[in-house]
Structure 1
Amino acid sequence: MTSDIPALRREDWEPRRWHNLTRPERATEEIAALAAGLEPGARLGTKDEIRAHCGVSVGTFNEALRLAQQRGIVRVKSGPGGGLFVDHQSPMVRLGNSMLAIDQDAASVADAIRLRDAIDPLLVEDALSHASAKDIAEMRVELRRMRAAADDSDGTAFLRADWALHARIAEVCPSPILRPLYLSLLEMAESHLLAVEPTGDQPLPEYLRERYDLHAALVDAIAAGDVKALDIIADHDTTQNRRPHRSAAREGADEPGPTSSP
């Protein structure tokens, strides 16, 4: 029996950090490598072309494509001239992907952040009803940490302080299911944070200050019991899964809505 020629063994030329990833996660990293350095909107190729490049089955590729879309790496267009295209990422998504790309459990952490963003509005709604003066004071402590990190242009410290603030908001939630679920998602994400090396056109200090201002407005709204906090948390969504603003719906809950036709 002959052994593989060493130079042709896949494990010898794959990046070492891929060795503990699943096949879909490896394929996701290959898609990310193809997209790296290209402008948003650039075409990578058809699904069949990219799958052939990754050397995986249809099922594995479909899972990899799902992960790549969740991470904001690519988007898919159908029809003539369709295929995979480099997605346009917000600066915060880029911050997250820069961190996740160097972690062995990138796909799972991306899912955790996506779920966290989906749960945020529920926690803010609870905070509007249940936050005490002590809760608000402790939220402002985390805000000061965010401000200091923004002033130092320290993306990693800023992200940790950001998550600590959201953890403090979550602690106000009275739900014995929602609160621990959210905190466990934050813990998963933070446990894999190694560094943040942002990319993009907007200068990091400017972007961090914008994010700080958004969080300061969020805490102010919670302190005032102002339902505009629900609009602010919708603007906060880091994965760009835009949801309808909920404060208007809450304020107009007793007003008759438009009549729908069959």
Structure 2
Amino acid sequence: MHTGSAAQAGADPADASDLRRSAPQANRASLPRVDRRADASPRSAGSGRAERAAERVAALVQSVPPGSRLGTKEELRTLCEVSVGTFNEALRLLQARGLVTVKPGPGGGLFSAEQTPMVRLGNSVLALDAQEADVANAVRIRDALDPLLIEDTLWHASPADIAGLREHIAVMEKAVGDADPVAFVHANWRLHAAIAAITPNVLLGSLYTSLLDLIEGHTLSVLPASEQPLDEYIAHRHTLHRDLIDALDRRDRHEALRLIHEHNTTLAASEDPHAPS
């Protein structure tokens, strides 16, 4: 039996990715000093450094027009004088706040966010940067691959894999309790990435997680898209995912496939027919 490990980020459309941006050169002397108090735990100290790095980059974002290139991740990490892990955490904070976006390839890097296009997904809307069509297409392909991953999970998931999936469900439940749709969406993406990590089909898993990365990488925020309150909607989505993991645990193929079908068709049914799908 193949044992998968939780992959990186990743969600869901209504379960509605990383959100990204960066900034031009600034005076290093003005950077805040790292808190080295003896009573600060490694985790709290690291979080504090990430928050200060995020504030530094946010200040740079405010100084440039939307869509401006801020530099590479390494350039900004060096500017902030933090470790790779700390800067990645700072980047997640910036993306969650819709301040930056990341573009790959030559001429890519971190950019100040352009908060314009949107893709409607179920009873929520993903507010995106300028890659609306790419995200909409990635969502369609991702949904088409979901049943294949569920089939593989039914055959190959170990008890440890199922336990790992339940941990993601718990994070989603906390986001519901906190009324935090952005955190919910990211936790949902992580759950789906963890499911993708279970398949022994390397090509399928790699393609799926790449699609999740694309969706997450261009998402700036999550907004309500209908009269149903967004907090009620994500609570429903949490229940659906919890039931799906229960079905996988029981090796109930019929129920698991029914739930993943509901997962995707309830999104499609509530989309605007004139919106990208």
* TM-score normalised by structure 1 residue count: 0.55
More helix by share: 1
Equivalent of residue 120 in structure 1, options 129, 146, 152: 146
Residue 241 of structure 1 deviates from its aligned partner by 7.2
SS in 2 for 1:194: strand
Residue 17 of structure 1 deviates from its aligned partner by 6.8
For residues 67 and 134 of structure 2, what CA distance do their matches in structure 1 show?
14
- Give 1:108's aligned residue: 134
- Give 1:232's aligned residue: 259
Q: Which has the higher contact order (CA 8 A, sep 6+)?
A: 2
Residue 219 of structure 1 deviates from its aligned partner by 0.3
Q: Unaligned 5+ residue runs, structure 1? A: 1-15, 20-67, 73-88, 243-262
* The structure with more radius of gyration: 1
SS in 2 for 1:104: coil
For residues 170 and 90 of structure 1, what CA distance do their matches in structure 2 show?
22
From the superposition, tell whether residues 95 and 187 of structure 1 become closer, same or farther in structure 2 (CA, over 3 Å): same
Q: Which amino acid aligns with 1:203?
A: P
From the superposition, tell whether residues 193 and 145 of structure 1 become closer, same or farther in structure 2 (CA, over 3 Å): same
For residues 150 and 172 of structure 1, what CA distance do their matches in structure 2 show?
26
- Is the Cα contact below 8 Å between 2:165 and 2:194 reproduced in 1? yes
- Give 1:152's aligned residue: 178
Q: How does 1:1-262 map to 2 (within 5 A)?
A: 90-91=122-123, 94-96=124-126, 99-100=127-128, 103-227=129-253, 228-237=255-264, 239-240=267-268
Please, what is the CA RMSD of the aligned residues? Answer: 2.6
More strand by share: 2
Residue 199 of structure 1 deviates from its aligned partner by 2.6
When structure 1 is superposed on structure 2, of 160-169 and 186-195 the one drifting more is 186-195
Q: Deviations over 1:87-136 (max 9, x none)?
A: xx730xx333xx23xx1111101111111111001100110010001100
Q: Deviations over 1:6-63 (max 9, x none)?
A: xxxxxxxxxx9799xxxxxxxxxxxxxxxxxxxxxxxxxxxxxxxxxxxxxxxxxxxx
SS in 2 for 1:218: helix
For residues 122 and 202 of structure 2, what CA distance do their matches in structure 1 show?
33
When structure 1 is superposed on structure 2, of 209-218 and 185-194 the one drifting more is 185-194
- Is the Cα contact below 8 Å between 1:124 and 1:229 reproduced in 2? yes
Q: Which amino acid aligns with 1:124?
A: I
For residues 236 and 177 of structure 1, what CA distance do their matches in structure 2 show?
23
For residues 177 and 113 of structure 1, what CA distance do their matches in structure 2 show?
18
SS in 1 for 2:202: coil
Q: Which amino acid aligns with 1:233?
A: I
Q: Unaligned 5+ residue runs, structure 2? A: 1-64, 69-116, 271-277
Residue 176 of structure 1 deviates from its aligned partner by 1.8
Q: Which amino acid aligns with 2:125?
A: L
For residues 157 and 177 of structure 1, what CA distance do their matches in structure 2 show?
28
Consecutive aligned runs of 4 or more in structure 1 exceeding 6 Å deviation = 16-19
Give the share of equivalent positions with the same residue, in percent.
43
* TM-score normalised by structure 2 residue count: 0.52
